[in-house]
């Protein structure tokens, strides 16, 4: 297995029923870029999270996500998004 670090900015939006749901994830080149992108996304959405994951996308095995930073309103339990 070739482990690779993935850095992601994930926006959260308000659904029609009033719940907060994840938008489309955006892969970033670094942790810093993911944090900056999440901050910008939080300005036009209800919130955003920057996180990293280590794993191999070819075989679908990943370690648990590590939250780098949260902005705005995000679900309390982020384990379902990682």
| pLDDT for 57 | 77
Q: Is pLDDT larger for residue 57 or for residue 21? A: 21
Per the listing, tokens 């990293």 go with 52
Q: Beta-carbon neighbour count of residue 45 at 10 Å? A: 20
CB 31 within 8 A of CB 18: no
**DSSP secondary structure letter of residue 38:** H
Q: What predicted TM-score, i.e. pTM, was given to this entire model?
A: 0.85
CB 23 within 8 A of CB 45: yes
């Amino acid at each position: 297995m070739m482990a690779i670090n993935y850095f992601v900015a994930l926006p959260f939006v308000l659904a029609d029923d009033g719940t907060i749901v994840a938008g489309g994830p955006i892969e970033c080149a670094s942790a810093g870029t993911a944090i900056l992108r999440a901050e910008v996304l939080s300005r036009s959405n209800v919130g955003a999270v920057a996180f990293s994951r280590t794993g191999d996308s070819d075989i679908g095995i990943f370690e648990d996500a590590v939250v780098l930073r949260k902005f705005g309103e995000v679900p309390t339990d982020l384990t379902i998004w990682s």
